[in-house]
Structure 1
């Protein structure tokens, strides 16, 4: 049988592995940061009606410029944005791919701050762009000084800032984003896939777009909108950037069905986002309870919590999986990541993870010594 090694693939792709989060059918799936709340029934009916109407014209190509969708996205984002400053694609991953196809490529580089979203490196390799990583500060934070020092060292063509950061959940200040935008000579992308879960009042990088034609803000409908299966991502940028992305996109890349479904969801944005407060509450509950159990939850502005203090992450991952609970191994020593789900899903996770808590281990270790001390008659004099 022919193997991948037998094929004449590009040399820079040899030895690489594709993106792959575990896909398992379990009662509690909290591993890929989905919004685990279902779409409201009345919204679902409206989306179905819009998709059904679109089916009647599937013999024709869709609107190549997806104008109605861009208008709806501009209205949702606000900040004075107009249609000519909006782009969309099949998930924010394709948006980022378009960016690297237009502004990266052979002989160019893209800089990220590790640990960060694993797809960045894969998108870089797929577009022939050199992937560079720089470090973060303690507790996965990223200060203006650290970020700017990396830009001055590496002089990248593109900078990717994940805000809040995946997989750590770390919020990113506007001070850091501003410093990066001012220091970088090329394109700066702020990936705000999880921004709707940030604490109320957290400013978006959208506030920084005016007067910065090389600053791009990427978003997705997969997370807060509970629309992961629809695959809709988008960005806001200078109109010239949107023109550049047109040069690399495939013709009619957003299907009529995708456009219809996204328009239906955006028409009910308030209802679609109504569960965000509840998810934030579960995120804080997870962090609070994990800390009480002796784990080390890190600061998160997303819909997930990264936590340390895990002696054997793979063993704990497998043990939770045996209990029907799927979370995420991310390769950070002593750490695991869990999505904030519904109240019932969070309860199931917290009850299960308590069996592996540092505080539980400490109590178990102390018990034999305490027992021996209180039962001298059981040992010979």
Structure 2
């Protein structure tokens, strides 16, 4: 008898995770390379110390103060404003997504997205016994809106997951996409939610709007965010969503009791007080990203347009050899996405210079090896 008696569909599967290697230049998990200042860290430490004095009591299970602060932050992205009862938070946007599937997915229900996209989406569906349906993106990784609408109307999903910018491609949704698919998901009974995952939303290029603006128009719209990326708080593990209050109420049914610790709530509130500082390097990272895109294209590589803090580039006959060549030179990027493609997170100017130098050496090595093979042939 096999042990342990795990669910059959989970047997033999490997857990999700990017390589965690001790190398000089780590550009593989889309982290913000600029950490909080000493003043911000001191504020967080003071807030956590104050919370620690109350750890004999359960935290505020409704995280009211945090929801109010997040609503005030999100209100910057819409003239309509966002109210605290429209906001829900959890331990990273991963838990937010899982809670959405727990509440609105499940046996006999369907979730869908359009590949290539975030590899955790089908795992959320699997873990909640939700049927997973995957459409396809166009060759340039954009979303064919007519095809996407037809797919939603045909499959009648309970939840549509639409990252913007998309991971791992960095592609942003066109403004009309959200409304079109919200209407499609409302055209059948009992209807479906459209979840726009804006984990990298703060990095979008000028003129690309946030879906938060559309919340008053589409009741079945959910917009998710995280403090892991632009806020330079990946270690905090705080994600959140904005939606109709009825959607937040439904999530409260499936959340675990007191799911956000007092320490997490205190640290997140302190970080939000320092939002201008923590977001202060976003413009710098955008410029570094655009420079990276230009440089990679100058090397003759194909590069996806990016509105995120990472760049997908290729294509390589043996992408693992390129990944390994970079790692051998102290630069760790991510081997992810369609075959032949690699993804690099945007780091500091020095880190990006190290990446470019290592990439130049690796491409020269690959070119020399290719020439040698051709000569032997």
TM range (shorter): over 0.9
Aligned partner of 2:203 among 179, 197, 200: 197
In 2, the alpha carbon distance for the partners of 1:146 and 1:47 equals 47
Please report the RMSD computed on the Cα atoms of aligned residues, expressed in angstroms. Answer: 1.9
Which position in structure 2 is the counterpart of 1:128?
129
Does residue 39 in structure 1 map to residue 36 in structure 2? yes
Distance verdict in 2 for CA 1:211–1:364, change over 3 Å: closer
- The answer as to 2:25 corresponding to 1:7 is no
Please tell me whether the aligned partners of residues 303 and 314 of structure 2 are also in contact (alpha carbons under 8 angstroms).
yes
Q: Which runs of 4+ in 1 moved over 4 A?
A: 362-366
Deviates more, 1:96-105 or 1:131-140: 131-140
Distance (whole Å) between structure 2 residues aligned to residue 174 and residue 97 of structure 1 = 26
Whole-angstrom distance in 2 between the partners of 1:363 and 1:286: 25
Q: Does the 8 A contact of 2:168 with 2:337 survive in 1?
A: no
Structure 2 gaps of 5+ residues are 186-190
Residue from 309, 314, 317 that aligns with 2:320: 314
Deviation of residue 13 (structure 1)?
2.0
Contact 1:291 1:297 in 2 (8 A): yes
Contact 2:179 2:218 in 1 (8 A): no
CA distance in 1, matches of 2:226, 2:334: 21
Q: Distance in 2 between matches of 1:137 and 1:263?
A: 40
Paired residue for 1:95? Answer: 96
Give 3-state SS (helix, strand or coil) of 2:29's partner: coil
Distance in 2 of aligned mates of 1:363 and 1:54: 59
Specify the SS of the correspondent of 2:235.
Answer: helix
The structure that has the greater radius of gyration is 1
C-alpha displacement of 1:47: 0.9
Separation in 2, partners of 1:66, 1:343: 38
Asked whether 1:215 is paired with 2:216, we answer: no
Q: Encode CA deviations 1:296-341: one digit per residue, 9 max, x unaligned.
A: 1111000000001223110111111111111000152211000011
The equivalences for 1:1-381 within 5 A come to 5-78=2-75, 79=78, 80-184=81-185, 185-357=191-363, 361=367, 365=371
TM-score relative to the length of structure 2 = 0.93
Deviations 1:159-186 (A, max 9, x none): 0001000001011112111111000121
Aligned to 1:376: none
User: What secondary structure does 1:88 align onto?
Assistant: strand
What do residues 216-269 of structure 1 show as CA deviations (whole Å, max 9, x unaligned)?
000000000010000000000000000000000001100001001100110111
Q: Distance in 2 between matches of 1:359 and 1:146?
A: 42
